[in-house]
Structure 1
Amino acid sequence: MRENWRKQAIIEALKEFDLAGKKELETLLMEHAQVSLQFELDCKENYERVGNSRIAGRPDLPPSIEWPCTEDGEAYTFLAQINLSELPFLPADNWPSSGMLYFFLGLDEPAYDVEHQVFYYDGDLTHLTLASLPEGTEEINAEERDFISHQVTWQPHLSFPDLGEASEMLFEEYEDLDTELSGVSDALGGGLQTWAGETQLDAYLCRNGLGDFLFNTYEMPKKLQQEARQGAQNWQVLFSLSSLREVNMCWWDAGYLEFLVHVEDLKEGRFANTYLNLATS
């Protein structure tokens, strides 16, 4: 279903931008265009349903997952819960097909390797209950995170990864199409949007004990550099979340959060080793 949608969406995008018949471009898109699932804000959350996808507010947690707190006893901020069974289809084959994903945020500085936790639950959803902050705790930066919870719905969207020269060609010759394919935030999966730095490489370095080289990779031995850049390709977008006015959510200078996960961890349903970047101008 996903692949049929992807191919048809490429054909329709080429028609929309009067690019039908551009065989080289069509071949490039058919080979590399990815699918992301973008959420759209629906109504404000009233918590009448348990286990639905939502942004901000309070999560529906199973007994096996406690609201995470820092070592200093401050509660992480709940960002989102995603019911994977509500998706029209999965962004890629290596995604878990059912269960709940939960995203929590700690202190959002510095902007690299941001403090966070991601949980995955694939048990009985009737065991979920609406959670409250742990007794006696306060939320991190609570005065800046007075978010308004919303229910969300999901729509598929084409996304194009950074392919170096091929991506540059797409931008230079087909700017409107490039804008359409690269502007996908608030989504599961898809291509990286970070406009500064090398987020995949940062993720690899931080999760492999090489964080000291974050801003000076040129000091790494050549062989280690090659291994790092190769290994970085195994990190992909899990979830992105932008500054949403309706939610009263703003990340630094109207930036966004981008969660990355290793492809093997995603395949095995492991989310304890994810990486979070905050991108802003």
Structure 2
Amino acid sequence: MSLSSAIESNRLSRVKDALHELSRECVRLSAERTTDSKTPIGISKFGGEPDVPPSFDWPMWDDEPMTFLGQINCQQISQILAPSFFPDSGLLYFFNFVDVDGCYDITESDEPTYVVRHIDASDLKRTEMPESTHELEYCTRLLTPTLGVSIPDLTDPTTVDLDLSDSERQAYTKLFLDLGGAEHQLFGHPALIQPYPSSFKNRDLLLQVISDTEDHDFMWGDCGYLYFMIPRGSGNPIEESIAEIAS
């Protein structure tokens, strides 16, 4: 559904111009459970084993290897939507530290418990996680990207000037769902499960990962969302990503 038709069907024509101005294009990521044996090298996916060059230095935290969260094929995404900061080739890798109980939390530490890394190489090989005390591996999920449109959460300060009535706020929530709701997503506005975090100020969404309530290996807090946010206007935003969980 296009943004214009969704606005009209939800009777929000009074603020249609403002909604068009606030909206941001995004890439929705549909995830399908599969196995690494069925996925080509270099494809966009969550979980399984990463496709990395032989010289790859596996990310560590507290002398333990981080768990591979996923990889994004930059060329595949750039053909759909290409923000100025986003590489047009190579792979974008995401890793996070999972403890012995299979839990992941953003702990306060001198060293981040997550890593975002871009590598542009052709000699990729599917690589096992180094030996660990926990060795938790996320199930493989093949990612299919499609172009989408996102609107800010009602707790986002940018929506204040809309001055929505109670009925319009309900319609706005329905509009959010009609546009795709909360999904795995690159770019655009984050789908919030808690009020707008102050840490998101002057930052934009790089990747949003939703908990999988059927396969509990992919769970952030209490059925929450995992966000990777990048600083707005930075020369190397991907290298300065921060991660945050809300549940």
Please say whether Structure 1 and Structure 2 have the same fold, judged by a TM-score greater than 0.5.
Answer: yes
Q: What letter corresponds to residue 169 of structure 2 in structure 1?
A: F
1:157 counterpart residue number: 148
Give, in angstroms, the shift of residue 256 of structure 1.
Answer: 1.4
2:132 counterpart residue number: 137
Total equivalences in the alignment: 230
More strand by share: 2
Q: 1:237 aligns with which of 187, 199, 205?
A: 205
Q: How many angstroms apart in 1 are the aligned matches of 2:178 and 2:108?
A: 27
Matched, 1:193 2:191: yes
Q: Is the 8 Å Cα contact of residues 149 and 247 (structure 1) preserved in structure 2?
A: no
The alignment's TM-score, normalised by the length of structure 1, stands at 0.71
In structure 1, list runs of 5 or more residues that go unmatched. 1-7, 204-231
Helix, strand or coil at the partner of 2:191: coil
Identical-pair percentage: 22
Give, in angstroms, the shift of residue 31 of structure 1.
Answer: 1.1
Matched, 1:277 2:244: yes
In structure 2, list runs of 5 or more residues that go unmatched. 99-103
> What are the within-5 Å matches in structure 2 for residues 160-239 of structure 1?
160-161=151-152, 162=156, 163-166=158-161, 169=164, 171-181=169-179, 183-196=181-194, 198-199=196-197, 201-202=198-199, 232-233=201-202, 235-239=203-207
Q: What letter corresponds to residue 97 of structure 2 in structure 1?
A: G
Q: Is the 8 Å Cα contact of residues 38 and 154 (structure 1) preserved in structure 2?
A: yes
Helix, strand or coil at the partner of 1:164: helix
Matched, 1:79 2:47: no
Q: Is the 8 Å Cα contact of residues 120 and 270 (structure 1) preserved in structure 2?
A: no
1:216-255 deviation digits (Å, cap 9, x = unpaired): xxxxxxxxxxxxxxxx32x111101111234741122111
Matched, 1:261 2:222: no
More helix by share: 1
1:98-144 deviation digits (Å, cap 9, x = unpaired): 221100012533467862000011x23x211111122x4344xx4xx
- Superposed CA RMSD in Å reads 2.8
Distance 1:270 1:64, change over 3 A: farther
1:24-73 deviation digits (Å, cap 9, x = unpaired): 42211221101111111235033451100011111001245322111x32
Distance 1:242 1:31, change over 3 A: same
Q: 2:3 aligns with which of 7, 10, 15?
A: 10
Q: 2:32 aligns with which of 42, 45, 64?
A: 42
Distance 1:264 1:30, change over 3 A: same
1:94 counterpart residue number: 85
Distance 1:182 1:86, change over 3 A: closer
Q: Is the 8 Å Cα contact of residues 147 and 247 (structure 1) preserved in structure 2?
A: no
Distance 1:92 1:272, change over 3 A: closer
Give, in angstroms, the shift of residue 176 of structure 1.
Answer: 1.3
1:119 counterpart residue number: 117
